[in-house]
């Protein structure tokens, strides 16, 4: 990579990596794994930088790659393992985290986690959620609707358990 391109890539990386890693975390619920997957996406960006840098929104390109990799990776990983990791992380780092919500979100299918992260955390309109998920707006709305119902049900179950 030529000198100027390297500098531009480095500046972009520093500006965007953290934000992408945070969204990926909300799909994988495992910090180390999220960093690895985000890194894979940025290595792909490095390889395509001369082309992607000319795009109007290179951040959307790398975000889309990262989300795709994260969803694919999450499909491969058994959900029980993800929940166990989440519990270990919560135990190791007590803080203000809403662990019930985290458990409920981590139990969703990967595509639903991605939709929830993009809509609620990144605050994106449905058109952008759909674009980043690589589906139609209608399909993205259905995915998000199902996710939200599942979250509501699980959180309500948790509250009932607490009352008992």
Partner 1 sequence: MFDDPRLDARVRTGLSDAAEAVEPAVDQLLAAAVRRGRRRRVMGHVRSGAAALIVAAALVGVVVTLNTPGTAAPPTIPLTRTALIGTWQTPLLPTATWEATYRRVGGGAAAARAFVGRPMGGPATTYRVLLKVTDTTWAVSVSPDGGTPIPGWQGGYAFDGSRVTSVEASFGCRATYQLERAGAGLRIQVLADTCGNDDLLAQRTIFETTTFQPAG
Q: Is 138 exposed, middle or buried (0-12, 13-18, 19+ CB in 10 A)?
A: exposed
Binding mask 52-91 for partner 1 (x = CB under 8 A): ----------------------------------------
Percent helix, percent strand, percent coil in the chain, to nearest 5: 80, 0, 20
- Nearer Cβ to partner 1, position 34 or 107? 34
Tell me the chain's radius of gyration from C-alpha atoms.
Answer: 17
Q: Which two tokens stand for residue 67?
A: 């989300």
Residue closest to 44 by CA, chosen among 58, 54, 24: 58
- Nearer Cβ to partner 1, position 31 or 68? 31
**Minimum CB–partner distance for residue 6 and partner 1 (Å):** 7
Task: By CB under 8 A, name the one of 65, 74, 108, 144 that touches partner 1.
Answer: 144
Residues in region 19-58 near partner 1 by CB under 8 A: 21-23, 25-26, 31, 34-35, 38-39, 42-44, 46-51
The SS3 of residue 43 is: helix
**Minimum CB–partner distance for residue 101 and partner 1 (Å):** 4
93 interacts with partner 1 by CB under 8 A: yes
Residue closest to 60 by CA, chosen among 123, 131, 116: 131
Q: Residue 66 has what DSSP assignment?
A: H
Size of the site for partner 1 (CB under 8 A): 49
Q: Which two tokens stand for residue 58?
A: 């290179």
Q: Residue 119 has what DSSP assignment?
A: I
Task: By CB under 8 A, name the one of 63, 81, 97, 164 that touches partner 1.
Answer: 97
Which stretches of the chain bind partner 1, using CB under 8 A?
A: 1-2, 5-6, 9-10, 13-14, 17-18, 21-23, 25-26, 31, 34-35, 38-39, 42-44, 46-51, 93, 95-98, 101-102, 105, 116-117, 120-121, 123, 141, 144-145, 148, 151-152, 155
């Amino acid at each position: 990579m030529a000198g100027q391109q390297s500098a531009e890539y480095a500046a972009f990386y520093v500006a965007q990596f953290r934000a992408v890693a945070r969204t990926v975390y909300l799909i994988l619920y495992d910090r180390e794994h999220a960093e690895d997957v985000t890194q894979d996406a940025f290595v792909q960006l490095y390889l395509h930088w001369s082309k992607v840098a000319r795009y109007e929104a290179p951040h959307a390109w790398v975000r889309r790659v990262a989300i795709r990799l994260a969803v694919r990776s999450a499909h491969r990983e058994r959900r029980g393992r993800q929940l166990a990791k989440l519990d270990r992380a919560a135990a190791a780092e007590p803080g203000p985290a809403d662990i019930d919500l985290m458990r409920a979100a981590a139990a969703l299918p990967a595509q639903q986690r991605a939709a929830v992260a993009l809509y609620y955390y990144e605050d994106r309109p449905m058109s952008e959620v759909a674009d980043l998920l690589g589906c139609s707006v209608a399909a993205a709305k259905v995915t998000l609707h199902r996710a939200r119902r599942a979250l509501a049900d699980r959180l309500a179950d948790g509250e009932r358990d607490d009352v008992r």
